[in-house]
Amino acid sequence: MSAKDPIVLVEALTHSNVQAFLDTLRYCEGTPDEDGYRRMFGGKLFDSFDKHPGEKRTATFKGGLTVTSTAAGAYQYLLQTWTGVATQYGFTDFSPKNQDLGAVGLILGRKALDDVIAGRFEEAVRKCNKEWASLPGSPYGQPVKTMAQIRKVYEAHGGTFAPDVPAAATSVLDLINPAALAADTITPTQKEEPMAPFIAAVLPALVDLVPKLGKLFSSGSEVAERNIKAAELVVSVAKEAIGARNEQELLETIKADPQAAADVRTAIESQWFRIEEVGGGIAGAREANAVYLQPGAAGFWLNPAFWVSVGFLLMVVLILLDMLFFNRAVYDASLRTQIITAILSLLGMVSAYWLGTSFSSQRKTEIAAGTGKSV
């Protein structure tokens, strides 16, 4: 695919509101000085503009939040972000001019360039706060500037506001953050903590890799707590699969490295029973299948879960027979250990399922008879 003509970026860069918005971004990212074009995440300067330095660096923020990132330059481009925009517009180096043009390209990609030019400042910020983690309302959990602060910077650099945008000293975005907003939308029956911003930010990428994850994270107050716990488990499994130190590194890696994405997908699939149990899948199945064990119910042999369990047990028997008698020489000690571990895990899950179903049925019987407490 041929690169796009950057002329639209060059033309936009001549507009005073665009220049002011870029200056505001640099203020937010901590790169407003001349050396800002050479600054890497954490503050160290790189030497050459020939290419993005691509160096992973770690910084610790107030509150103990530790982040590892490849961000560099005046707009703190992640390596894969710069690679994408440079390929899109044919940039051959990481020069200050191309960094400015690339930032305009990212604004355009967020469909915010018209807002910037027209002076719809807060609307532009809302569209760009997923691109720059320091903007108000960003979901990534890093320290952010307030809308009041950046309005002043924007205006000081010659930026103008659309007539219908009030120049209020404080915006509603100053008063809320993603976690508070999530907590405020929880229904009265929910008292759980909202999902951590870093986990919420990386989760859509994992759902893209394993689409069936989406079923676990559908809305509904009755599953909110399980959804949060399942999300934490999914992200933990993904980080462990590729050795990512945090959620941001996980997100960068799976977007830039197809093999890492495949490893994450395989790891999530291999832990699906654990994830589904935490997310309510098995618990929900228990609830549905417990009716087959109620007094006067149809025979248990009509329960689909019964036949699934029988199938699992038959499979276990066949594997054991093959390993112990028919093809014993094929299985070395390491493979036998892995198979036995898998079988024990499978038997444990089947046992836990039926114990849980029996308990659920018993509780329903007690409640119906007035001998148990309804919760």
| Residues with catalytic function | 29
Q: Are 171 and 148 in contact (CB under 8 A)?
A: yes
Rounded CA-CA distance 43/60 in Å is 12
Provide the token pair at 249: 């590194």
Q: Are 41 and 59 in contact (CB under 8 A)?
A: yes
> How many CB atoms sit inside 10 A of residue 60's CB?
10
Rounded CA-CA distance 353/346 in Å is 11
Task: Please state the separation of Cα 199 from the chain's center in Å.
Answer: 5
Rounded CA-CA distance 53/40 in Å is 8
Q: Which residues pair with 45 in a beta bridge?
A: 39
Rounded CA-CA distance 50/63 in Å is 36
Q: Are 77 and 95 in contact (CB under 8 A)?
A: no
Question: Minimal CA–CA distance to 283: which of 367, 353, 213?
Answer: 353
Query: Tokens 């369990």 correspond to what residue?
Result: 309
- Work out whether strand 66-69 and strand 57-60 pair parallel, antiparallel, or are unpaired: antiparallel
| H/E run at residue 68 | strand 66-69
Angle made by CA atoms 257, 260, 264, in degrees to the nearest 5: 140
What's 90-121 look like in SS3? CCCCCCHHHHHHHHHHHHHHCCCHHHHHHCCH
DSSP code of 153? H
